[in-house]
Amino acid sequence: MSEPRALMLSPELPYPLQGGGALRTASLLNYLARHHTVDLILFRHLDSQQPAESLPPHLADRVLILELPRHSRTRLRRALRNTSRLVRGVPPLLDRFQGFAAPISQFIANHRYRVAVIEHFWCAPYQQTLRPHADSLVLDLHNIESKLHWTEANSAATLPERLAHRHFARLYRKLEANWIPSYDEVLTASALDYSRIHPLAKSATVFPNSVPWRKLPDVPEEEAIAFSGNFDYHPNQTAVAWFAQHAWPKLAAAHPNLKWRLIGMNPESIHRTVAHLPRVELTGPVSDAVDELARAKVVVVPLLSGSGTRLKIVEAWAAGRAVIATPLGAEGFPTDSLLVAPLDRFTQAVEDVLTDPTLRAHLATKGRTCYEQSLTWDAAWNTLSHSRITP
């Protein structure tokens, strides 16, 4: 008897395993491929440097790559795009991935799927295209978009930005109320996100963010603080800007040999923010974020906005390193496995962990234990045993 067929539609490439979105999508794709023959629909920006050919061939039977047109990422062009969205009443990114129903319909014509999974709320409207071809439809929410924009509004530097994000949050909240009930099941990254959407969903499952199992890296601590992520992502940009202004000057002055290492894609997006600061290193994309994080003494997550849970924390725990995070950055994680510090205490918290080897080792051990027990791919897959994704 042949394996049942599954379909996954994702607005970003799951490979290479760089960035939180790719890691979550890749985890779910690997799980689907264990039980199904998978067809895969992916979006790729024409200006992306990520090769679609990096997808392991055993994960999909058929693959459709939908090329998104190039668009400028300058601050001015982004402002113009968001102004247009405000006028049209369309929140960011939802419009970016629409208009591809025809090639998607052609790709899935004459196919029937036991389950179809859509990654990210941005692609939720494709429910209408996939529904006639799927026994069950599942929406995987990497973030709660309305919550993301409310936090962006709270951390915005200017009144126009605050007002824009509040408007986008309201638009997304209405769309969530419209689209979430149309899915047979919704996956969320944490119990907290589950509580936010559960009243809307027919069925919901907490599927935690996770990274593949790996041994604890055997790497000595360096005199370095690390922060990782895709620096084209606005919450990461605001986190870097806050730390650059409020924390790093004091820490750099107190520790003359200390480095601040920024690990991840699109470093050009934050270069101007940190160019004037001493001993800041921009690594750019790395082949193994866990090994790179393991070289640091501590990992900081000074997020002022965002949603979901932070895969940068899971990677830091896999690396066996202590994590200091803002309350928002720590959302969805057990608070005894990291040091949670509000912004007015954040710099001192970093200082405390840097100068206290016992505290640093305790946090590192707690985080590594949390990773081993519940945040590997295998552990995360166990949460799906009673979901619609499992045959």
**Where in the chain are the domains?**
5-210+377-382, 224-374
Burial group, residue 358, by CB count within 10 angstroms (0-12, 13-18, 19+): exposed
Percentage, residues of the chain above pLDDT 70: 97
**Please, which pLDDT band fits residue 275 given cuts at 50, 70 and 90?**
very high
Q: What CATH homologous superfamily does 5-210+377-382 map to?
A: Glycogen Phosphorylase B; (3.40.50.2000)
CB 101, CB 126: distance < 8 Å: yes
- d(Cα 182, Cα 167) in Å, to the nearest integer? 24
CB 294, CB 321: distance < 8 Å: yes
Class of domain 224-374 (CATH, top level): alpha beta
Amino acid code (one letter) for 106: Q
Report the number of secondary-structure helices (H) and strands (E) in the chain: 15, 13
CA-nearest of 186, 205, 213 to 384 is 205
Q: What is the number of alpha carbons within 13 Å of residue 162 lying toward its C-beta?
A: 6
Q: What is the overall mean pLDDT for the chain?
A: 93
Model pTM above 0.85: yes
CB 257, CB 263: distance < 8 Å: no
- The predicted model gives 187-197 an average pLDDT of 95
**String of DSSP letters for 292-337:** HHHTSSEEEE--SS--S--HHHHHHHHTT-EEEE-TTTTTTS-GGG
Q: Is 89 left (phi over 0), alpha (psi -120 to 50) or beta?
A: left
CB 223, CB 259: distance < 8 Å: yes
Separation of CA 81 from chain center: 23
Judged by average pLDDT, the poorest of 20-34, 79-93, 300-314, 324-338 is: 79-93
**pLDDT tens, residue by residue, 218-274:** 988 899 999 999 998 999 999 999 999 999 999 999 999 999 999 999 999 999 999
Common-topology check for domains 5-210+377-382 and 224-374? yes
pLDDT at 50 over 60: no
- How is residue 142 written in tokens? 């990497």
Q: Which residue has the tokens 């679609």?
A: 52
**Please, which pLDDT band fits residue 193 given cuts at 50, 70 and 90?**
very high
